[in-house]
Amino acid sequence: MYKKKPFFIIFEGVEGCGKSYQSQKLKKNLKKKGVNSLLTREPGGTRSAESIRRLILKDYFNKGNNEKFDKYTDTLLYLAARNEHVKNKIKPALKKKRVVICDRFVDSTLAYQVYGKKVNRYFINNIHKFILQGIKPNITFILKVSSKASKLRLKKRRTKNRYDNFHQSFYTKAQKSFLKIAKNKKNYFILDSSSNDSKLEKKIFKIVCNYLKIK
């Protein structure tokens, strides 16, 4: 019997790894067990955070480098969106003892901004102390994908954002960063999502059920 409690689940990985797909599948599978979870995403999740998301994504399509945001401006926009998201959606849901599933969170900032763009980690950590106020994911799924599979999925996308257009070397570097973040952490699960099939869906669901004590 499921005992209602706050539980925070994160899906991380590079573009085309199947995060959005698997997070939606998890929500549907939990619903079948009577658990009405909240599915959200970053950057975004609330009206104000989605407005910031559009601004961030639009910046990538500016032609000249002189027109683009400085890496710290870019990072602060991501953190501003996270502040809105945590304060207005994630925190209230966890207070109500809900299961929250989020497509990207803090580890994406570390992988892309810290490891990728060399933004100062202490700068981000200090801001996170105020934004998160101790909120941490209970479990994080890192979906590891082959370059061939991610390329194929990105090619099929009808609408693309800034991160869907990067060179393969960027995704390879980002994936290595996610794996580095997850290393030796008990509540992190690195799963191969190259086939992104029902086996992966079942594996994710089984892990979550074990944590939530759902039979």
Domain boundaries, the chain: 7-212
Whole-angstrom distance, CA of residue 163 vs CA of residue 161 = 6
Contact 107, 137 (CB under 8 A): no
Per-position pLDDT tens, the chain of length 215 = 577 899 999 999 988 788 999 999 999 999 999 999 999 999 999 999 999 999 888 766 566 666 688 999 999 999 999 999 999 999 999 999 999 999 999 999 999 999 988 999 999 999 999 999 999 999 999 999 876 655 565 555 555 545 545 566 677 888 899 999 999 999 999 999 888 678 999 999 999 999 999 98
Residues 2, 34: Cα–Cα separation, whole Å = 8
The residue among 186, 78, 176 whose CA lies nearest residue 124 is 78
Give dist(CA 118, CA 106) in Å, integer.
Answer: 15
**Can you give the pTM of this predicted structure?**
0.89
Nearest to 30 by CA among 77, 80, 109, 100: 100
Q: Which helix (H) or strand (E) holds 28?
A: helix 19-32
* Topology (CATH) of 7-212: Rossmann fold (3.40.50)
